[in-house]
Amino acid sequence: MLEALVLSNRSIRWLRKIPLITVVALRAVSYSIIIVGGLVLPSLIFLGTKQWLDPDFSFGFWVSIAVATGLSMSGELFQLLGKEAALAMFTGRYRRPRIEQRIVMFADLTGSTALAEELGDLRFHELLGGVAYDLESPIVTNGGETHRYIGDAIIITWSMDKAKNFERCLMCAEAMVEALESKANQYATKFGKPMRIRIAIHCGPVAAGEIGAWKKEISLLGDTMNTTARIEGAARQFGSDIVVSDMIRSRLPEAWRSKLVGLPDFAAHGKQDALKLWAL
């Protein structure tokens, strides 16, 4: 309960700034207090028995600590890799590359190059950490899986197996834009300007598989990934915050289609046919 409701709470931003070894130590102390209380107090209060004098008490206590610490470290590993990637690593799902149907979103911070020069590397890193944190809630709420961070960009995916995910990806995009708009004054005060993101969404087959030996990651490759990157470039050219491909639009209900505005056909580098794009 402590792990799930307190230590894993996404709203506790300061907890993530504490070194991992300190967090583990705090968890061990917390577990010790809770476990000792759980083992000792009931028998002491209701039976008057001093449970700590039992020869088996020490063994049970340390086994409990070991199990709790193991679960805690597993939680840290899941946060480091992401839920989907961690499960895939353990089950061996991506030992061999496989084709999957995915919705892919590229979310890129606008004006980041000039801002990085102005703020310096450390301050810019702090900024990116804050932006990633503020965007996390919209992503998780709408069922997105953060695939990876690349500089000032985030790649998020959904499975195409569920029709509802096509609406969720647009709901996520709107919520991400709104999340940064709601913090505009805070970013302006701390970093000199409000933050904005540019979002591109596409869908199709991707090749998913493990890459690396000592340092592994789940890599998504293929034309769908490349096209999404080209759409992000089109969003920059057209000055649109959220741009989706025609493949995304074709799978949306009419209520969402009515919100989309057609853009001029975009001749993307490396693509034989021009891309039909829509702005939200």
Highest mean pLDDT: which range of 18-22, 38-42, 216-220, 226-230: 226-230
Q: Residues 127, 115: contact at Cβ < 8 Å? A: yes
The mean-pLDDT minimum among 47-51, 160-164, 169-173, 232-236 falls in 47-51
One-letter-per-residue 3-state SS of the chain: CHHHHHHCCCCCHHHHHCCHHHHHHHHHHHHHHHHHHHHHHHHHHHCCCCHHHCCCHHHHHHHHHHHHHHHHHHHHHHHHHCHHHHHHHHHCCCCCCEEEEEEEEEEEECCHHHHHHHHCHHHHHHHHHHHHHHHHHHHHHCCCEEEEEECCEEEEEEECCCCHHHHHHHHHHHHHHHHHHHCHHHHHHHHCCCCCEEEEEEEEEEEEEEECCCCCEEEEECHHHHHHHHHHHHHHHHCCCEEEEHHHHCCCCHHHHCCCEECCCECCCCCCCCECEEEC
pLDDT at 193 over 60: yes
Q: CA 229, CA 171: separation in Å to the nearest integer? A: 20
Question: Model-level pTM?
Answer: 0.76
- Hey, how many other C-beta atoms are within 10 angstroms of the C-beta on 134? 18
Query: Token digits for 235?
Result: 């969003």
Cα dihedral sign for 234, 235, 240, 244? Answer: positive
pLDDT digits (tens, 9 = 90+) for 81-136: 666 666 766 777 777 888 999 999 999 998 888 888 888 989 899 899 889 888 98
Q: Report the share of the chain in percent with pLDDT over 70.
A: 87
- Is 8's pLDDT higher than 60? no
For residue 199, pLDDT beyond 80: yes
| Parallel, antiparallel or unpaired: strands 242-245 and 197-211 | parallel
Q: Is the pLDDT of residue 73 over 80?
A: no
Other C-beta atoms lying within 10 Å of the C-beta of residue 154: 25
Q: What is the chain's mean pLDDT, rounded?
A: 84
Could you tell me the CA-to-CA distances from 41 to 27, 37, 52, 66, 87 in Å, in that order?
Answer: 20, 5, 10, 21, 38
With a cut of 90, say whether residue 34 has pLDDT above it.
no
The whole-number average pLDDT for the span 236-242 is: 90
Please name the residue that has the structure tokens 């000039």.
Answer: 114
Tokens 């894993």 belong to 8
pLDDT higher than 70, residue 38: yes
Query: Which pLDDT band holds residue 1 (cuts at 50, 70, 90)?
Result: low
Distance between CA 20 and CA 254 in Å, rounded? Answer: 48
CA-atom Rg of the chain in angstroms: 24
Residue 83's pLDDT is 66
Query: What pLDDT is recorded for position 26?
Result: 77
d(CA 217, CA 243): 28
